[in-house]
Amino acid sequence: MRELELYFGPQHLGMVGNFSITLNVEGDRIVKATANPGFLHRGFEKLMEQRTWIQNFPLVCRINVVEPDHMELIYAMAVEKLAGIEVPERAQFIRSIYLELARVGSHLFGLWAYANMLGFDTVANWAMYHRDLVLDLFEEITGGRVYHIYIWPGGVRRDFPKGFKDKIINTLHTIGSCVPDYDDTFFNNRIFYKRSKDIGKITHEEAKRMGAVGQVLRATGMKQDIRKIEPYAAYDQVDWEIPVRTGGDAYSRIWVVRDEMIESVRMILKLLDKMPEGEVYNKIPNPFKWNIPDNEAYVRCESSRGELGLYLVSNGENKPYRAHFRTPSYNHGLTILEKALENESIADVGNIMISLYITAPEIDR
Amino acid sequence: MISISALKPFKAVKYLFIKPKTIRYPFELKEPSMRYRGFHLNEWDKCTGCGNCADICPNQAIQMIKIPELESKSGCKNERPQVDYGRCCFCGLCIDICPPGSLKLTRDYFHIHFDPKTFVFIPKDQETEPEKYVSSEKYSVLKASLSHRKRDYDGFVSDLKYALFEPKRVTMPIIAPEKRKLSFIEQVIGYNKEEARKEASRCLECKLCEEACPAHLKISDYIQAIYEDKPEESLKKIYEDNPIPSICGRVCMAYCEDACSLSIRGEALSIRWLKRYAADTIQDFATALELNPGTATGKRVAVIGAGPGGLSVAYFLRLKGHNVQVYDALPGGGGTMRTGPPVYRLPLESIDKDVHYIRSLGVEFIFNTRIGKDVMFEDLLKGNDAVFIATGNTKSRSTKVNNYEKCELALEFLSDNKIGKPRKVGKEIIVIGGGNVALDVAREALRLQNIQHPGENAAVKTVSLEDWDEMPATREEIREGREEKIQFNPAWGPKEVILDNNGNVKGLLCKKVKSVFNGEGRFAPSFYEEKEMFLEGDMIIEAIGQVPDFSFIPDHLLEELEFTERKKVKVDEMGMTSIQKVFAGGDIVNVNLDAVTAIADAKVASEGIDRFLS
Amino acid sequence: MNHTGTSLKENLLSYFDDILVEISDEHRLTISCKKDSVITILSSLNRNGYNHLALISCVDWIKDNELELVYIISAYTEDSEKGKMNILVKTKIAREKPELLTVMSIYENAEPYERELHELYGINFKGHPRLIPLLLEREYEIPPFRKDFDTRKYVQDVFDKIPFVEDKKGRK
């Protein structure tokens, strides 16, 4: 059969995000896939070298639209490490709760994308609605719906408003009460099973070789989570489980996402119970006179897509000398995707891509 | 757990019968949260135009715009921020840096307009633009825009606890009142390096202070140099405008600190103590400053009075290469600084340090020489190309109440204690006056009491026409005086000095003050003659002000000398008096009566003299 | 300091003589080495179980006229001590004609990182199968992430030349 070259994205109905894949197809079988990023390259890392430490905060969260919060956290953690700033205990709890909310919101967004892709519009709209409820919570704490700019070096920008605990619990109960509906209509749906089982399969060995992290890795049976390995914020203060599946295919990955969401909700409730009173912010130096001595730091956290790292270098000035984000989608989108798409059908490109949880802004930065 | 089913998904059908969650905009609106980061609002009266919001804005969305209708005054520029909503990302950094807390984000977020220029606007508040802010009943979302907003709709506002600046000063170590009132030990210990750097790091570089300073020192620069741990750099910056940092670092009136934007909701930056830190850290000014006198011009200038004005004029003129001779009746430099401020505030070594450096530049000091007695004024006029008079206010004024001649005078009292033989003091001392000099006298008298009558019952009382809030002394002085247990009697005026049978002072009879100033704000005290109070005391010191002494100027020249209506020597923009080649500055010219204004005068006069000579 | 880090340090120092090993933080190990030994050190680390390449980064030390490459390595493991370790392997190379061997034979996922550094810093990774542009749309004289790339000048040169669009009335 004749081999054709097919451009998939950035403008394609089956594509989520500004990303493009060049497919070599024979019939509707993919022979070779080449990821083609760069449509969202905004040079954030270069831009960060020209802004002061504090001015970078409104910037870093914009690197990834879907979940700005982990970007804030990773930058704050790196700056704290370089400048030696302590974080009060209550702020650590707030950070954890806030980040888990972000994870729920981000996973709901992922679920929307995935359900939408498979044609489950009902489920997609539920997910979007529930994500909106999470965004309402964010609006309450931070004053912004999408870009929160909430986590700062030294703690968080404002304490929880009065009575906020009950609001979180209410919202989580609303979302939690719909889990059976989600399960029945989507996760245990025969159509979903047929569309995702054994699709985009990668083995455990391949995953490790190609730098998989997060759900992609956990769906191949490995219990790896930075929150457990190197606990930051208040993740070592409560008990929680790492959800794992063994299939390595799209089906397992989406189930890991679902389980993680439920685990996050449980974790938030536990964290809320244990949250201490006290200060939430240690004053950072005057932003106009804030030079951080020569140093470098590599910090990492578990974003909702996997290991997110930041390599930050300071040379004693009032701005970073070099910042480099290690984003989870990078290897998922540029190495694993190419492998996972081989020998699949064109109809499953979007399916696989979203099940790998790829967001283009993270890759391009 | 896994039970794959093809039928169960139909469960979703039940949602057909549930009310939709979607908000029916615009009939139904979603209320933004209390912290919502929407449009800006700037409380016009509170804003000082410091420009910190513009400096921190990561997108350069904020620009400071000159508002001609507003008056630019000390501590408040006539500039206000302008926000470009094409650039703004609503991060709220401007809110967290705003020192007065005037800038706020509201919960409004609708603006629909065909003209892109309306997206650039100068935020004001509902008091300044009442027509743009409507009550929630009159508010209609169909009209919502930057000129149709809700009243009292604050969202993300500044909170001092989370502000990006530090409102609290680094505490200056000060000797405790109980200890310091026993001797003349310098009460302020001074910052060490860490403290100074930490304090310097609070500066927001808005430069409101530089405009408030009469001599316009480059405050922001020298503070930055201290922050960078370069005291030499800092001193160099100070010496560009002020050649007496050791003196000013201790007794400056610090108008800068009143203007400091941090002082609005917190404590002002300790600008004066930081200057003192720079001057005290450096032992040898000459090597640190590397200044040299300018190329010799061969012109001679005589300066009468080695006070702050005289010293500064000598320094500035010497840098321009002129030969300067400074005459003073006292045995050392400093003028009023030498005789007035008590040792616990300004030790003689600090004065000498500044004077020595100016001398090392080649300025000739002729001390112990009184013009009009040892050297004639007319001879000076003949022998020099220009003469600068900075003699200051050297005569104490008296209340002239009955038996006033039994009272002591402030300047003489202070001068004797500082550079002469300390006075014998009584056990109950009354000080008349509410200014800084009166407080110096009172606090000095207290220390002398503690030295001369240790352990005995003794008291110092002050009587001032002005009430607490009008008292001309600085808040700091009043606070320290109260800490040392000086008894204040504000809003009382002296009526008569009462003597006992032997003709010794027995006390002061006072009358209640009705008002100090008349309707025009002029000093014109009025009293309730019938409301009287008797203060017991065996010593009364009058500290109600000082006047200049022009007796050294011959009568025919004095007639030529013009005065302003406030009885100050009239000078032109070059600092020249009505007498040819005679210039003047300091307390005889300005109404502020302090060192830093004298320096400002001296800067003007030295430029004037230089132009006059060349 | 934890046991894993010190034993790894001793282990490395016994095999390699021209490297500098620093334990900067509790679980951060920095190895500075010559550019030729990068491959051997990385494969030794990989054999020791540090099999996850998290990042390859580059810092342009323009004052020293050097580019510094940083390989950040950690482990896929359920052993908590080992899992915490992050190893930074650093090497400095000249800014002019920078060349280095690819590490794709050891860590397969190095491929896009090396491509990115080739594009943004102009480093030539020998043995890399496809050093083609990754993120950018055009070629630059100076690789754009180098410190001497003047972003402002670039913006003026490129975007200021784009003519204004006129509307119907001829206004710009």
Classify residue C36 by burial, with Cβ atoms within 10 Å: 0-12, 13-18, 19+: exposed
Closest residue to C72, CB basis, from A41, A45, A311: A311
The HSE-up count of residue C54 (CA atoms within 13 Å, CB side) is: 31
The ipTM (two decimal places) reads 0.86
Cα gap C70→C68, rounded to integer Å: 6
Angle between helices A250-274 and A164-176 in degrees, nearest 10: 150
Please count the other Cβ atoms lying within 10 Å of the Cβ belonging to residue B513. 20
Closest-CA distance, B260 to chain A, in angstroms, reads 15
Closest-CA distance, A61 to chain B, in angstroms, reads 11
Collect all residues of chain A within an 8 Å Cβ-Cβ radius of residue C25.
81
User: If we measure between CA atoms, which residue out of B321, B320, B342, B340 comes closest to residue B330?
Assistant: B340
Q: Are A19 and A254 in contact (CB under 8 A)?
A: no
Closest-CA distance, B38 to chain A, in angstroms, reads 8
- Does residue A18 sit within a domain? no
Among A57, A259, A286, A292, the strongest candidate for a mutation testing the B interface, having the largest count of B CBs within 10 A, is A286
Tell me if B35 and A147 make a contact (CB, 8 A cut-off).
no
- Does residue C37 sit within a domain? yes
CATH number at residue C39: 3.30.460.80
Q: What is the rounded radius of gyration, in angstroms, for the C-alpha atoms of chain A?
A: 20
Tell me if B8 and A129 make a contact (CB, 8 A cut-off).
no
Number of H helices, E strands in chain A: 16, 8
Tell me if C78 and A222 make a contact (CB, 8 A cut-off).
yes
Confidence tier at C1 by pLDDT (50, 70, 90): very low
**Strand order in B79-84's β-sheet?**
B62-66, B79-84, B120-121
Q: Which helix (H) or strand (E) holds A61?
A: none
CATH number at residue A139: 1.10.645.10
A-chain residue closest to B204, CA distance = A288
Tell me if C59 and A331 make a contact (CB, 8 A cut-off).
no
A-chain residue closest to C137, CA distance = A38
Does B contact C via 3+ CB–CB distances below 8 Å?
no
Residues 6+ apart with CB under 8 A from B337: B244, B247, B251, B307, B308, B346, B351, B595
Helices (H), B89-212: 93-97, 177-180, 193-200, 208-212
Cα gap B80→C132, rounded to integer Å: 51
Tell me if B33 and A136 make a contact (CB, 8 A cut-off).
yes
Look up residue A187 and give its DSSP letter.
I
User: What are the structure tokens assigned to B431, written together?
Assistant: 């000080």
- Does residue C96 sit within a domain? yes
- Does residue C125 sit within a domain? yes
Q: What structural domains does chain B harbor?
A: 23-164 (3.30.70.3270), 177-289 (1.10.1060.10), 300-394+548-613 (3.50.50.60), 398-544 (3.50.50.60)
Name the stretches of chain B with pLDDT < 70: 1-2
CB-based contact (8 Å) between A140 and chain B?
A: yes
CB-based contact (8 Å) between C76 and chain A?
A: yes
- Does residue A235 sit within a domain? yes
Residue-by-residue pLDDT tens, chain A, 365 positions: 788 888 887 777 666 678 888 888 888 888 888 888 888 888 888 888 888 898 898 888 888 888 888 999 999 999 988 888 889 988 999 999 999 999 998 899 888 888 888 888 888 888 989 999 999 999 988 888 888 888 888 888 888 888 888 888 999 998 888 888 888 888 888 888 888 888 888 888 888 888 888 888 888 888 888 888 888 888 888 888 888 988 888 888 888 988 999 999 989 999 988 888 888 888 888 888 888 888 888 888 888 888 889 999 998 888 899 999 988 888 888 888 888 888 888 888 888 888 888 888 888 88
DSSP string, B180-196: HTTS---SB----HHHH
- Does residue C168 sit within a domain? no
Among B39, B53, B89, the strongest candidate for a mutation testing the A interface, having the largest count of A CBs within 10 A, is B89
Q: What is the rounded radius of gyration, in angstroms, for the C-alpha atoms of chain B?
A: 31
CB-based contact (8 Å) between C102 and chain A?
A: no
User: What are the structure tokens assigned to C160, written together?
Assistant: 């200021």
Cα gap B235→A351, rounded to integer Å: 68
Backbone phi, then psi, for B381, in 5-degree steps?
-65, -40
Collect all residues of chain A within an 8 Å Cβ-Cβ radius of residue B56.
54-55, 287-288
DSSP string, B490-540: ETEEEEEEEE-TTS-EEEEEEEEEEEEE-TTS-EEEEEEEEEEEEEE-SEE
Estimate to the nearest angstrom the gap between the alpha carbon of B446 and the chain centroid: 27
**Strand order in B492-499's β-sheet?**
B492-499, B505-517, B523-536
Tell me if A38 and C135 make a contact (CB, 8 A cut-off).
yes
- Does residue C12 sit within a domain? yes
DSSP string, B292-344: -PPSP---EEEEE--SHHHHHHHHHHHHTT-EEEEE-SSSSS-THHHHSS-TT
CB-based contact (8 Å) between A32 and chain C?
A: no
Q: Could you tell me which chains touch chain C, where touching means 3 or more CB pairs under 8 A?
A: A
Closest-CA distance, B240 to chain A, in angstroms, reads 23
Confidence (pLDDT) at C168: 66
Closest residue to B56, CB basis, from A140, A185, A287: A287
Closest-CA distance, B6 to chain A, in angstroms, reads 5
- Does residue A361 sit within a domain? no
Collect all residues of chain B within an 8 Å Cβ-Cβ radius of residue A125.
none
| Segment B298-322, tens digit of pLDDT | 888 888 888 888 888 888 888 888 8
User: What are the structure tokens assigned to B559, written together?
Assistant: 């007639």
| Segment B443-463, tens digit of pLDDT | 888 888 888 888 777 888 888
B-chain residue closest to A141, CA distance = B35
Backbone phi, then psi, for A198, in 5-degree steps?
60, 20
Question: What's the total number of domains in chain C?
Answer: 1
Report the mean per-residue pLDDT for chain C: 83
Domain range for C144: 3-159
Backbone phi, then psi, for C35, in 5-degree steps?
-70, -25
User: What are the structure tokens assigned to A132, written together?
Assistant: 């909106």
Tell me if C84 and A38 make a contact (CB, 8 A cut-off).
no
Q: Which helix (H) or strand (E) holds B40?
A: strand B40-42
Collect all residues of chain C within an 8 Å Cβ-Cβ radius of residue A321.
59
Closest-CA distance, A261 to chain B, in angstroms, reads 17
Confidence (pLDDT) at B287: 81
- Does residue C169 sit within a domain? no
Closest residue to A185, CB basis, from B9, B59, B96: B9
Closest residue to B165, CB basis, from A188, A191, A286: A286
Question: What's the total number of domains in chain A?
Answer: 1
- Does residue C58 sit within a domain? yes
Tell me if A37 and C80 make a contact (CB, 8 A cut-off).
no
Q: Are A62 and A74 in contact (CB under 8 A)?
A: no
Q: Are B443 and B486 in contact (CB under 8 A)?
A: yes
- Does residue C165 sit within a domain? no
Cα gap B184→B14, rounded to integer Å: 89
Confidence (pLDDT) at C95: 85
B-chain residue closest to A159, CA distance = B162
Asked whether the predicted pLDDT for residue C4 surpasses 80, the reply is no
State which amino acid sits at residue C44.
Answer: S
CB-based contact (8 Å) between A62 and chain C?
A: no
Tell me if A222 and C76 make a contact (CB, 8 A cut-off).
yes
B250-to-B187, B200, B348, B593 alpha-carbon distances in Å? 11, 17, 12, 16
B-chain residue closest to A129, CA distance = B21
- Does residue A30 sit within a domain? no
Collect all residues of chain A within an 8 Å Cβ-Cβ radius of residue C111.
334-335
Closest-CA distance, A335 to chain B, in angstroms, reads 31
User: If we measure between CA atoms, which residue out of A127, A66, A102, A90 comes closest to residue A264?
Assistant: A102
Residues 144-183 of B with CB under 8 A from A: 155-156, 159, 161-162, 164-166
Domain range for A241: 41-328
User: If we measure between CA atoms, which residue out of B304, B543, B313 comes closest to residue B412?
Assistant: B543
**How many Cβ contacts (< 8 angstroms) between chains A and B?**
106
- Does residue A10 sit within a domain? no
Look up residue B262 and give its DSSP letter.
G
